[in-house]
């Protein structure tokens, strides 16, 4: 049975059944063998086919099965091999859901499941903190948030921001550098320059609903080192109260409340429970 047959044969079954058959139908070591055409581990191809066209309902069931399967058994592996296996599985889930498909509904489904079951950064299943590799390379990792920002996936980016992904980044303000200096992995040839330019600005503005400050010096240092901004009027896209003037009090309050909810694993679900008018709840949830 080849990888394609394995994946298609389980397109409507659970993840644990898929993985169990993969593990028992071939030597385990072959899962990590690089494919000659893509230089990706074989398991990537199998799980990628499984997740590529999955519906939101199927995704929810599959993610639940994956969490249960990964937590309940080491399927006869040693600790190190098991950890490698989980790394590959979580990597491909992030890649397929957050990178290959600009589908905010599926991303929201994944985030809901992750936030319900995985809260610890030390947990090997903590997908939200994990760097993944759009092109399989140990040095090419990026977080799902940075990938969505770089590719200007506005709806996906908004979902990830609402779940506090930017606050979890080690250097949150670097998301502006990712948007400003790095073009998407795949350009849309039918997209006009004005539309392309507006998408970039919209993603930057969305990030400023979370960020309280951005260092213009960090951006200028990128230019000094040879990088060229994708738009010439980039300074006009940075609000004065994020770079020069004091940040507005309303936004600082939003940042503090969101941080508190995030620390208690209540973001964004906990916003609706706050005794606040709907308009303010929407403000906290980055709707405006």
The residue with greater pLDDT, 159 or 118, is 159
* Separation CA 274–CA 269 (nearest Å): 10
What's the predicted TM-score (pTM) here? 0.77
Instruction: Tell me the pLDDT of the chain averaged across its residues.
Output: 77
3-state secondary structure of 158: helix
191: left (phi over 0), alpha (psi -120 to 50) or beta: beta
- List the domain boundaries for the chain: 1-141, 142-247
Residue among 199, 214, 131, 125 nearest 168 (CA): 131
**Per-residue pLDDT band at 117 (split at 50, 70, 90):** low
Q: Tell me which H or E stretch contains 151.
A: none
Identify the pLDDT of residue 67.
73
**Per-residue pLDDT band at 3 (split at 50, 70, 90):** very low
Give mean pLDDT, residues 173-189: 84
Identify the pLDDT of residue 44.
64
pLDDT tens digits, 231-243: 999 999 999 999 9
pLDDT tens digits, 46-62: 766 777 777 777 877 77
Give mean pLDDT, residues 171-176: 90
Give mean pLDDT, residues 70-99: 69
| 273 pLDDT higher than 90 | yes
Identify the pLDDT of residue 137.
42
Identify the pLDDT of residue 22.
58
Give mean pLDDT, residues 11-17: 53
Question: CA 144, 83, 3, 117: dihedral to nearest 10 degrees?
Answer: -50
Give mean pLDDT, residues 97-113: 76
Residue among 148, 69, 43 nearest 102 (CA): 148
Identify the pLDDT of residue 190.
76
> What share of residues in the chain are helix, strand, coil (percent, to 5)?
60, 0, 40
Q: Are 177 and 218 a contacting pair, CB within 8 Å?
A: yes
| 259 pLDDT higher than 90 | yes
State the greatest distance between any 2 C-alpha atoms of the chain, in Å, as a whole number.
63
């Amino acid at each position: 049975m080849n990888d394609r047959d394995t994946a298609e044969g389980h397109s409507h079954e659970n993840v644990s059944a898929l993985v169990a058959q993969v593990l028992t139908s071939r030597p385990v070591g072959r899962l990590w063998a690089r494919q000659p055409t893509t230089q990706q581990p074989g398991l990537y191809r199998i799980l990628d086919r499984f997740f590529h066209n999955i519906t939101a309902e199927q995704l929810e069931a599959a993610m639940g099965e994956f969490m249960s399967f990964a937590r309940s058994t080491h399927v006869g592996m040693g600790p190190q091999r098991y950890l490698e296996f989980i790394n590959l599985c979580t990597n491909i889930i992030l890649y397929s859901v957050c990178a290959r498909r600009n589908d905010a509904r599926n991303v929201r489904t994944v985030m809901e499941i992750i936030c319900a079951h995985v809260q610890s950064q030390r947990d090997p299943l903590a997908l939200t903190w994990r760097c993944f590799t759009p092109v399989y390379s140990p040095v090419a990792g990026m977080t799902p948030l940075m990938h969505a920002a770089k590719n200007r996936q506005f709806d996906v980016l908004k979902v990830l921001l609402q779940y506090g992904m930017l606050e979890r980044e080690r250097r949150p303000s670097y998301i502006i550098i990712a948007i400003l200096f790095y073009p998407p992995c795949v350009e849309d040839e039918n997209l006009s320059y004005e539309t392309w330019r507006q998408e970039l600005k919209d993603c930057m503005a969305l990030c400023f609903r979370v960020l309280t400050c951005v260092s213009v010096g960090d951006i200028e240092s990128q230019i000094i080192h040879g990088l060229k901004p994708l738009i010439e009027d980039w300074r006009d896209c940075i609000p004065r109260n994020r770079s020069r003037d004091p940040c507005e009090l309303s936004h600082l309050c939003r940042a503090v409340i969101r941080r508190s909810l995030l620390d208690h694993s209540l973001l964004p679900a906990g916003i609706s429970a706050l005794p606040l008018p709907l308009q303010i709840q929407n403000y906290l949830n980055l709707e405006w």
